[in-house]
Amino acid sequence: MRSATWYRSSSDVSGRLLRRKSPRVAVNIPALLMAEDKSLLGRCTMLDVSDGGARLQVERPAELPATLILVLSKGARTIRHCAVRWRSDTEIGVEFLKGPVRDGAEPPRSGTPEPADTETPAG
């Protein structure tokens, strides 16, 4: 397993663009992050997405675990298991782990805000 990169140089970014298997699509979707034990890690905004992964805006990237669950719908009906591949000061890049999107997953613990309730940060 490769360790996460904590910086992005311009040559690294251009090289990564050439290696992408599928193009990224710009989106602005509020979502939630959960740990594997279903505890809430926080809110995020999906900035762009491809078949294999996504770029997420988060508050404290360094505090997130190496693997997490991205909750994309109310009631946690649509989730993606992810591995963090890179981190910056305000963003992370995640790779979607093998397997289909799971519907009907166990919802976050009581009192957890739904992704649609997330305010999108100005950017």
Q: pLDDT tens across 39-73, in order?
A: 999 999 999 999 999 999 999 999 999 999 999 98
**Gap between the Cα atoms of 103 and 76, Å rounded:** 8
Spatial contact of 4 and 85, defined as CB atoms under 8 Å apart: yes
CA–CA gap between residue 70 and residue 56 (Å, rounded): 10
pLDDT in tens, 79-99: 999 999 999 999 999 999 985
Mean pLDDT for all residues in the chain: 77
Rounded (5°) CA angle 88-95-18: 80
Q: How close are the terminal C-alpha atoms of the chain, in Å? A: 33
